[in-house]
Each structure stands twice: as structure tokens, then as C-alpha cells.
Chain A
């Protein structure tokens, strides 16, 4: 590899915006510098690499403090904290239900998809609050998030024994992130007026059905794990991973359940944020 090739490869460590503006000039300056330098080769490269590394570090910090990357970091934090916060609220609500126990409520159950819908609604609300200046379709956003989280969580629950609680979080995050990404992409393509109408028409009935199901089933918080899953759950052996996660969300038996909940939810939030960050940062100007 030529010295210029090595230097060009090192330039890729700069943030893209900086590289696009100054990359060519830097390479040309390096070429002239390398061609005229009287320093011995080893010393020249020591100076060049030290110079590059200190500058790359500064530019990377700058890129996180300003510009697109700042938005991406904030977005990741919102996604992770939004879904963790909703998970914690769910846990708190369940404890309150357990405290106000009444025999009439015994036997009511909350299915995995309704947990997902609840988590998605909380996440969607947190996200739409953060995007309030850019998002013209907050209701559709929350509805799409809630519906996709319900589907994603149910899907994850089906594969829970294979992928584990953390895998459940990532799977749910991937489904929600993909749906949100599609929504933003579609809103950029379709005329602004038509898209909110279409999205509302599609997503609101889903949300209404979910809410109805939630209201009828949500009171089963004190007995939240479906019977077939409950049968396989024992404190000593977490044979069914979804039990651990659901119990972590609803009634953690200990720090292990709680830690699994936090890990799964934060990974779900980070997965969503990673998928949607770029599309949303590009969409900023459009709104």
C-alpha cells in the first residue's frame, strides 16, 4: 500500500461531514508534505499519525456535541429511556394492582402482545414528545409504535426459549424500528397531506382494538403470565425465557428478573434508535 493509500484509509476515521469537506485537501496536503519532508520515514509517520489521532479525537467529540450525531445520540437515549421508563411504570402499576388484589380479578391474564402494545404506546409518547417540532402525525406515530411493539413482542415471545430475554428485546426493537423507519420513509415520499390521513386510517382502528383488549385484560396484572407459560416457570430454572422477561416487566421476583428487564428494554430501545436515527435526522429538514 502506498503512503497516500495508508493516509487515505486513516482519513476514514474522521466524521463523514468533516471528511467530505476537507478530506481531499488533507490528502493533497499530505502528498506535498510527504514529498518534501526531510524527516526519516519512521519519525515522519510518528508525527503524521500523532497529528491525525489528536485531530480525529477532537473532530469525533465535536461531531457528538453538534450536528447530526448529536441528534442521533439524543435519539438513542430517548428510545432507550422511553422504553425502560414504560417498563418500570408497568412494574409499578402491577405492584399497585397486586396490592389492591380482589378475588374477582383472579384468573385474568395479560398476553405478551398486550404488554408490547403498552410498552410501544409509552415509547411512542416519549418519542413524539421529543419530535414534537418535527412530527406532524403524533397520533399515528404512537399508534404505529404501539401496534408494531405488540406484534414485535408477541413474535419475540414465540421464539423466547431460543433467543432469551435479551434476544426478545432486540427482536421487538427490530420490528418497531423497521415500522417507524417505514413510516418516516413513506411520509417523505407521499405528499404530506395524504400520508397522515392514510396512516391514521390504518393505524387508529388497530390502536382502538388494542386499547379495548388492554382494558378488558389489563386488570389481570397480578396474574400476568399466560397459563401455559406459567406452568413451565419455576424459580430455580428459567426454562422459558419469556417468563423471566414478563416477570421482570410485571412482578420481578428478584434482581435477576429486574436486570433482564432492564437489559432487554434498553437493547430494544437502542435497536429502535439505531434503525431510525439516520432517517429521522434526514427528515428534520423536511418538516
Chain B
């Protein structure tokens, strides 16, 4: 399964434990340093697709009865693969001089 940018960010946000929808939105904004702002529409479209593929599952609602989601083993493995692929891409970009080499 090929992940979209929003879906990868949702998986990243859930890497450190379960979150409800708004928590994921906030985390994604923080992780991307404000460059990616997910609205509820994009967020729940991503959640639906990730849940249907078995990459995330719904977990116990929080104290305010908000529906929460957590990463599955399959989701974690796919997120790791995706991160590795992006990391390889960054290496190539460095070799080609698109990015400065880390000092």
C-alpha cells in the first residue's frame, strides 16, 4: 500500500501512543513544524483508509468519550519502511548536491 503524505503523518503521530482525532491534527502540525495542517476532512479520510487497511485500530475512548486510534504492528512496519525509503531518498539528494551534507 502506498501512503499519502497525510497518511504517513498520521502514522507518525500515532507512533508514540493512541490519540483522538484532534490530538492527531495537533501532532501533525507540530511534527511538520506547521508546514502541514490537516483539517478534519483530510484527517478522517486518512483514518478511514488506514483503518480499512489494518494499519491503525480504534481503541478505548478517552475520558471525554472521544474515539481514539492506535498503530498496529502492520502499521508500524509500513511506517518504518516508508521512513527508510524517505531516508534513502534524502541520501540520494545529498549525493546529488540538492541538500548540504551533514557536518
Contact = CB atoms under 8 A, between A and B. Distances in A.
Contacts, number: 54
Chain A contact-residue range equals: 20 to 34
A20 to B, nearest CB: 12
A26 B40 contact: yes
Interface residues of B, number: 17
Contacts of A58: 45
B-side interface mostly: helix
A142 to B, nearest CB: 38
B41 A51 contact: yes
Contacts of B22: 28-29, 32-33
Contacts of B20: 29
B48 A51 contact: no
A212 interface: no
For B41, B44, B66, the residue with the greatest tally of chain A CB atoms inside 10 Å of its CB is: B41
Contacts of A53: 41
Interface of B: 20-22, 25, 37-45, 47-48, 66-67
Q: Which 3 pairs across A and B sit closest by C-beta, in order of nearness?
A: A51-B39, A55-B41, A29-B21
Given A18-B48, A29-B22, A51-B42, 6 more contacts: A22-B48, A30-B40, A33-B25, A50-B39, A54-B41, A55-B45
